[in-house]
């Protein structure tokens, strides 16, 4: 690792730290209903949306009504996107005359984009028309990210409000998150990407002649508009098959930095939003500090692993599968940020990472992607771990656990355990079954521990709503499309519904006054406890599986054996 590499990492952290309170303060004003400088431009669009949908923005919802609206909206999105793919050949904006998508791939893709997973078992430029990309996939990029923000807002209100029965209005939260946050940021970002050479047109593909005289088909399309929300919304689905390794998605070092920054931008800012909404900025900064410290440690481990001596090739910093234009450091940074942030966007093959770096990328997802995590999803996932930590700390000192004056009781803890364990069960059970089924094993490109890692990563990515892949597993089969589709559903809604139930339970409780025995949750001690609980839960759950995959592969690699 060179000095230039280190400075790139440092500069990224510096910009992220600077932008977090700026964007966070703006978003907090949006979600609390305050007027901002965007009101003259996007205010009429907000009002028009309410009028068209028949929504009374002044009426708030109970947690059950909030959940019903959320589920109905997402179910409708799934149906529309599923049918759009099945009848793609009959729809407009299809200059390449691409055919209909197979039922199982359409099923998987519709669930994937609806759950903010964006797992892709297909090649975008040879499968999806411009209409499907824009009207189907890009729209889901916006609303699936906004859905995550809605759940975070509902849970935050449940914690902050006292003796209430409502959590806000799902339709209002969805509209404001889309119209005032995701849309303007995406428009600005898309314009910047276009200025740097990212494709944005409706041209048919062009056949070009290379300098060697070979023929090459150059794909085009409205890429920049999708890439912007793909990164900002922690969606991750690429317009082209190579994702952000494709020069039409990520043409230069400027776009590479900005796209990496966009992955963590909104998740980081939401920690500041949380502090504002609970009227304690220290709470928000504590969560940011835990996330940031964990990010630094994981990134340092991945960098160390990638730059360690490879016993087979007797070299450090192996470039195979990495982003050749920007070097190993940018591939490692991207793999760390995208797996911590539930993004799935990639600029290199994760299967080509060193065993420990690939294992850390997998472990990032297995932690629940609460270290910044997806837009909104990372924060409500982190708050579940906060409640778990508070409960464990209360047990240790023999007091009824409290968080910000709200008592944490059996009902809340049952929901927390369900939300934490459901994705874990999907990952381990799904991977275990797939290891013994010939129909699943036939998709592997590698044997031994690396083959296990391919399957384990796929189920981790699906259940964690990440969407990235080891790229060695052929997942575009009936088996994987169906099984991973259900894994995405469980990984998304088995966390959302318990989180909303907890919000409904907490919002009705009174806030107890602070006393001498109150356990403070804005101190370094609590931050250490929280980080320990997150890591321990992940380690205890997944260490045996990781030991059979990336850890064994690392040990064998040190002896000169590869897979």
Comparing C-alpha atoms, which of 274, 273, 283 is closest to residue 28?
Answer: 273
The pLDDT, as a whole number, for residue 307 is 85
Q: How many CB atoms lie within 10 A of CB 62?
A: 16
pTM of the model: 0.93
Whether the CB-CB separation of 270 and 19 falls below 8 Å is answered with no
Whether the CB-CB separation of 464 and 363 falls below 8 Å is answered with no
Q: Which residues contact 63 (CB under 8 A, 6 or more apart)?
A: 154, 158, 167, 500, 501, 503, 504, 507
Residue 314 predicted with pLDDT over 70? no
Angstrom CA distances, 223 to 181, 192, 230, 237, 410, stand at 20, 13, 10, 11, 48
Three-state DSSP class for 218? strand
The pLDDT, as a whole number, for residue 516 is 65
**CA-CA-CA-CA dihedral for 543, 298, 262, 117, to nearest 10:** -10
Q: How many CA atoms lie within 13 A of 278 on its CB side?
A: 29
The pLDDT, as a whole number, for residue 562 is 64
Check residue 562 and report its DSSP letter. Answer: -
The pLDDT, as a whole number, for residue 313 is 63
**How far apart, in whole angstroms, are the C-alpha atoms of residue 357 and residue 344?**
16
Phi-psi region of 442 (alpha: psi -120 to 50; beta: other; left: phi over 0): alpha
Structure-token match 């090649």, residue found: 123
Whether the CB-CB separation of 123 and 136 falls below 8 Å is answered with no
For residue 159, what are its two tokens? 């914690």
For residue 510, what are its two tokens? 């009174």
Q: Read off the pLDDT of residues 180-221 as tens digits, 9 standing for 90 and up.
A: 999 999 999 999 999 999 999 998 998 888 888 888 888 889
Mode of pairing for the β-strands spanning 315-316 and 215-218: unpaired
Whether the CB-CB separation of 347 and 236 falls below 8 Å is answered with no
Provide the terminal-to-terminal Cα distance of the chain, rounded to the nearest Å: 26
The pLDDT, as a whole number, for residue 319 is 66
Q: How far is CA 361 from the centre of its chain?
A: 13
How buried is residue 112: exposed, middle or buried, by Cβ count under 10 Å (0-12/13-18/19+)? buried
**How far apart, in whole angstroms, are the C-alpha atoms of residue 435 and residue 507?**
44
Residue 560 predicted with pLDDT over 70? no
HEC profile for 292-350?
HHHHHHHHHHHHHHHCCEECCCCEECCCCCCCCCCCHHHHHHHHHHHHHCCCCCCCCCH
Confidence of residue 472 (pLDDT cuts 50, 70, 90): confident
Check residue 249 and report its DSSP letter. Answer: T
For residue 376, what are its two tokens? 């909104």
Whether the CB-CB separation of 445 and 474 falls below 8 Å is answered with yes
Q: How far is CA 346 from the centre of its chain?
A: 12
In which element (H, E) is residue 207 found? strand 206-209
Measured N-to-C along each axis, helices 478-507 and 448-463 cross at an angle, to the nearest 10 degrees, of: 40
Mean pLDDT of 344-367: 86
Q: How far is CA 228 from the centre of its chain?
A: 15
Q: How far is CA 25 from the centre of its chain?
A: 22
Residue 416 predicted with pLDDT over 80? yes
**How far apart, in whole angstroms, are the C-alpha atoms of residue 113 and residue 136?**
9
Q: Read off the pLDDT of residues 455-468 as tens digits, 9 standing for 90 and up.
A: 999 999 999 999 88
Comparing C-alpha atoms, which of 225, 543, 495, 252 is closest to residue 379?
Answer: 495
Measured N-to-C along each axis, helices 281-306 and 377-397 cross at an angle, to the nearest 10 degrees, of: 100
For residue 463, what are its two tokens? 């259940």
**How far apart, in whole angstroms, are the C-alpha atoms of residue 482 and residue 102?**
12
Residue 311 predicted with pLDDT over 70? no
How buried is residue 436: exposed, middle or buried, by Cβ count under 10 Å (0-12/13-18/19+)? exposed
* Structure-model confidence comparison of residues 547 and 296, the more confident one: 296
Average pLDDT, the chain: 90
In which element (H, E) is residue 201 found? none
Residue 264 predicted with pLDDT over 90? yes
Check residue 219 and report its DSSP letter. Answer: -
Confidence of residue 517 (pLDDT cuts 50, 70, 90): low
Q: Read off the pLDDT of residues 20-71 as tens digits, 9 standing for 90 and up.
A: 999 999 999 999 989 899 999 999 999 999 999 899 989 999 999 999 999 9
The pLDDT, as a whole number, for residue 265 is 95
Three-state DSSP class for 34? coil
Mean pLDDT of 418-425: 93
**How far apart, in whole angstroms, are the C-alpha atoms of residue 91 and residue 104?**
20
């Amino acid at each position: 690792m060179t000095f230039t590499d280190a400075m790139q990492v440092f500069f990224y952290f510096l910009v992220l730290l600077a932008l977090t309170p700026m964007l966070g303060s703006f978003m907090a004003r949006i979600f609390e209903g305050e007027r901002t400088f965007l009101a003259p431009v996007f205010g009429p669009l907000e009002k028009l949306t309410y009028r068209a949908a028949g929504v009374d923005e002044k009426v708030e919802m109970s947690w059950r009504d909030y959940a019903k609206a959320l589920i109905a909206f997402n179910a409708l999105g799934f149906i529309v996107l599923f049918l759009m793919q099945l009848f793609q050949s009959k729809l407009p904006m299809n200059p390449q005359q691409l055919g209909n998508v197979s039922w199982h791939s359409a099923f998987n893709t519709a669930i994937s984009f609806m759950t903010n997973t964006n797992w892709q078992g297909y090649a975008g430029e040879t499968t999806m028309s411009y209409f499907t990309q824009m009207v189907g996939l890009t729209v889901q990029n916006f609303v699936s990210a906004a859905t995550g923000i809605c759940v975070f807002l509902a849970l935050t209100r449940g914690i902050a409000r006292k003796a209430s029965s409502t959590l806000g209005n799902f339709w209002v939260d969805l509209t404001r998150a889309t119209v005032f946050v995701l849309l303007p940021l995406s428009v600005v970002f898309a314009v910047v990407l276009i200025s740097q050479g990212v494709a944005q047109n409706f041209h048919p593909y062009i056949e070009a002649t290379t300098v060697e005289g070979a023929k090459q088909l150059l794909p085009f399309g409205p890429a920049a508009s999708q890439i912007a929300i793909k990164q900002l919304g922690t969606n991750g689905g690429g317009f082209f098959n190579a994702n952000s390794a494709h020069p039409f998605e990520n043409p230069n070092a400027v776009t590479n930095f900005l796209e990496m920054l966009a992955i963590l931008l909104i998740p980081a800012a939401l920690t500041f939003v949380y502090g504002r909404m609970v009227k304690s900025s220290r709470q928000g900064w504590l969560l940011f500090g835990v996330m940031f410290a964990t990010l630094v440690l994981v990134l340092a481990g991945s960098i160390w692993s990638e730059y360690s001596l490879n016993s087979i090739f007797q070299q450090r910093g192996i470039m195979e599968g990495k982003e050749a234009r920007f070097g190993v450091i940018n591939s490692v940074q991207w793999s760390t940020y995208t797996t911590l942030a539930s993004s799935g966007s990639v600029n290199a093959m994760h299967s080509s990472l060193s065993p420990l770096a690939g294992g850390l990328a997998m472990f990032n997802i297995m932690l629940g992607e609460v270290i910044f995590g997806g837009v909104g999803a990372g924060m409500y996932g982190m708050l579940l771990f906060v409640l778990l930590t508070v409960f464990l700390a209360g047990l240790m000192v023999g007091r009824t656990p409290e968080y910000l004056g709200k008592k944490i009781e059996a009902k809340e803890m049952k929901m927390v355990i369900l939300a934490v364990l459901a994705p874990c069960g999907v990952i381990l059970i799904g991977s275990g079954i797939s290891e013994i089924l010939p129909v699943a094993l036939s998709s592997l490109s590698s044997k031994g521990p690396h083959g296990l890692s391919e399957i384990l990563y796929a189920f981790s990515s699906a259940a964690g709503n990440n969407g990235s892949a080891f790229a060695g597993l052929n997942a575009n089969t009936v088996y994987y499309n169906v099984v991973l589709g259900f894994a995405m559903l469980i990984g998304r809604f088995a966390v959302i519904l318990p989180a909303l139930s907890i919000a409904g339970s907490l919002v009705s409780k009174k806030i107890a006054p602070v006393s001498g025995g109150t356990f403070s949750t804005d101190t370094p001690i609590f931050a250490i406890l929280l980080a320990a609980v997150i890591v321990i839960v992940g380690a205890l759950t997944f260490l045996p599986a990781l030991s059979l995959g990336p850890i064994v592969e690392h040990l064998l690699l040190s002896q000169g054996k590869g897979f």
